[in-house]
Structure 1
Amino acid sequence: MKYLLMIYGNKEKWSSLPPEQLQEVIAKQDAFNTRYRESGELLGAYGLGDADEAKLVRRVNGQAAVTDGPYLETKEYMASFYLLDVPDEARALEIAADMPSADQDPVELWPVPHEAPQS
């Protein structure tokens, strides 16, 4: 079963970390990624750009209409996501709880019950 882990970020929080602490956080996350990639349970780990780099895309009269976005009403935004392939929810929960930042920030766990067929 596939699961999506979502981690939220806060630009102010990250920019307030001293460089050596930021490097420590990155090293812990890299170790997490390596451990679960090597076990075959982590299919992908993706960090997203800052929210001020995101765009909203709509189709208006058949044409793409692109605006800056998202228009967040909070300081927190999705900062990264991870795709797991594990036997069951219990294992997904174990991995989510092992996320290095889970003792400070919650990790959202979403089941992925549908996958588009690959050609």
Structure 2
Amino acid sequence: MKYLLLIYGNEEKWASIPEEILEEGRAKQDAWNKRYQGTGELLGAYGLGGESEASLVRTKDGTPFTTDGPYLEAKEFVCSLYLLDVASVERAREIAAEMPWAADTGVEVWPVLHDAFGAGPDGGA
């Protein structure tokens, strides 16, 4: 079963963390990434740009238009996502709890219900 792990960020919060602490956190995250990539449970790990780098595309009457960034109701936004392939939600939660940023920001665990390019949630096509 696949699970998506989401970490939310806040540009003010990240900017307030001293560089040496960020570097230490990145090194721990790198080790976490390598560990679970090595077990085959981590399929992908992606850090996203800040809210000022995002854009929102909509269509109206079939015509696309783009605006700068998402319109956020809160200060936090998705800044990283990870894709796991594990045997159970319990295993996904165990792995999420070992993520270095889990104590700081929390990690959301979402089941992936459909894979447009492969297996369904139960592993079958």
Give the TM-score, by structure 1 length. 0.94
CA distance in 1 between counterparts of 2:97 and 2:117 reads 30
CA distance in 1 between counterparts of 2:5 and 2:20 reads 26
Q: Which residue of 1 aligns with 2:16?
A: 16
CA distance in 1 between counterparts of 2:75 and 2:114 reads 31
Shift of 1:92: 0.4
Size of the alignment, in residue pairs? Answer: 118
Shift of 1:54: 0.8
Q: Which residue of 1 aligns with 2:59?
A: 59
User: Structure 1: which 5+ runs fail to align?
Assistant: none
Match runs of 1:95-110 below 5 Å = 95-110=95-110
Shift of 1:62: 2.0
Q: Which residue of 1 aligns with 2:82?
A: 82
User: Structure 2: which 5+ runs fail to align?
Assistant: 119-125
SS of residue in 2 equivalent to 1:5: strand
Match runs of 1:40-59 below 5 Å = 40-59=40-59
Deviations 1:40-92 (A, max 9, x none): 00000000000111111011232211011211121111000000000111110
Give the structure with the larger strand fraction: 1
